[in-house]
Structure 1
Amino acid sequence: MKMPRRTLERARPSRLNRQSAFWRNEDGSATIEAVIWFPIFAIMLAVVMNISMVFFAESQILRVVQDGNRAFSLGRLDDAAAVETYITDRLSYLDAALAIQTTISGGFILTNISIPATDLMPFNFMTSAFNDINVGVSAQHIIEF
C-alpha cells in the first residue's frame, strides 16, 4: 500500500524543521544551569568547611589549654615550661605554628596561644584571604596547691 505524499511529509520532518525544533527544545536547560552554578556552590562549600574547621580546632585547643592549666593548678605539672610542653605535645597532631606563653603570678596561671588561621584549614583553597588572621586562645585558672 502506498502512502499519500502529504502524510509522508508529516511523518518525516524536513531538515529545517528538525533544526528549529532542536533550538526550541528546553529539555536540557536544567543541566546547563546546574553546570553553571555547581562551581559557585563548590567554592562556597569549601570556604564554609575551612572556616568551620578553624572554629572546631579552636575549641579543641581551648580544651587542651584548660587541661594543662588545670593540671598545673592541681600540682600535677611543676612549672610554666611543663605546661607549655604538655600543651605542645597534646596539639602536635595539628602540625601548626603554635606560639605559647604561660605566666604564673598572683595565684593564677594564664596561658595564651596564637596560631595562624591558615594552619588550621584542611583545604589549601582561598587561604590567601586569611593570611593575616591569627586564632588566639587564652585560659586562666586559680592555683589550688
Structure 2
Amino acid sequence: MSVFKAFSRLIPARFLRENDGTITVEAVLWVPIYLIFFAFIVDVSNIFHGQAKAIRMAYDGNRQASLGTFADADATQAAILARVQSFSPNAKVTTVFDSESISTVVVLPSNDLAIIGTISTIMNLDVTVSSVHMRDV
C-alpha cells in the first residue's frame, strides 16, 4: 500500500513538470494566421501577374495597330478585349486613335484576378493599365 501512495504523490508533480503538447497550443493559435497571410500573398501575386499580362496585351495591340494590322480603334479595342477576357471576363478596354498616337486603357476588376478571394472580400479594386504607341504614318 505504501508503494501506491508514493506513486500517487509523484503523478501530480510529474504532470506539472511535463511540457509535452505545448507546441500544439501554439500551432493552433498561429497556423490560421499564417494560412490567411499565405492566401493574401497568393491573391496579390496573381493580381500583379494579371496586370503584367494586360500591359503586354495592350502594348501588342497598339503596336499591331500602328503597323496597320487593325483598321481603326474599334478593331484594335475588340482584339485586345478578346485576349484580355481569357483571364478577366469583366475587363473593359478603351482604345483611342489620335493623329500621332494610339492609346489603350484596360480596366481589370480584382475579383477576376484573385484566386482565393482574400483581396476581393476586403475591398473592390480595379487594376488599370494603359499603353500609348506612336502611329506609323
TM-score normalised by L of structure 2: 0.88
With over 3 angstroms needed to count, the CA separation of the structure-2 counterparts of 1:126 and 1:103, relative to structure 1, is: closer
| Whole-angstrom distance in 2 between the partners of 1:93 and 1:113 | 14
Are 1:115 and 2:108 counterparts?
yes
Instruction: Give the 4+ runs in structure 1 shifted more than 6 A.
Output: none
1:78-89 aligned within 5 A? 78-89=71-82
Cα distance change, pair 79–59 in 1 and its aligned pair in 2 (3 A)? same
Whole-angstrom distance in 1 between the partners of 2:119 and 2:82: 29
Decide whether the 8 Å contact of 2:67 with 2:136 is kept in 1: yes
Q: How does 1:52-67 map to 2 (within 5 A)?
A: 52-67=45-60
Q: Is the 8 A contact 1:118 1:130 kept in 2?
A: no
Tell me the distance in 2 between the aligned counterparts of 1:21 and 1:128: 49
* Pair member with larger Rg: 1
Match of 1:140 in 2: 132
Question: Is 1:13 paired with 2:15?
Answer: no
The residue aligned with 1:51 is 44
Q: Could you tell me how far apart the structure 2 residues matched to 1:91 and 1:126 are?
A: 21
Shift of the 67–49 alpha-carbon distance from structure 1 to 2, 3 Å rule, reads same
For the residue of structure 2 that corresponds to 1:52, the secondary structure is helix
1:125 Cα deviation (Å)?
A: 3.1
Deviation of 1:23 (Å): 3.6
| Secondary structure of 1:13 counterpart | helix
Paired letter, 1:140: V
> Normalising by the residue count of structure 1, what TM-score does the alignment of the two structures yield?
0.84
Moved more, 25-34 or 62-71: 25-34
Q: Kindly tell me the number of residue pairs found equivalent between the two proteins.
A: 137
Q: 2:23 aligns with which of 30, 38, 57?
A: 30
Provide the aligned C-alpha RMSD in A.
2.0
The Cα of 1:65 is off from its aligned counterpart by 0.4
In 1, the alpha carbon distance for the partners of 2:119 and 2:97 equals 39
Deviates more, 1:63-72 or 1:115-124: 115-124
Identity %: 29
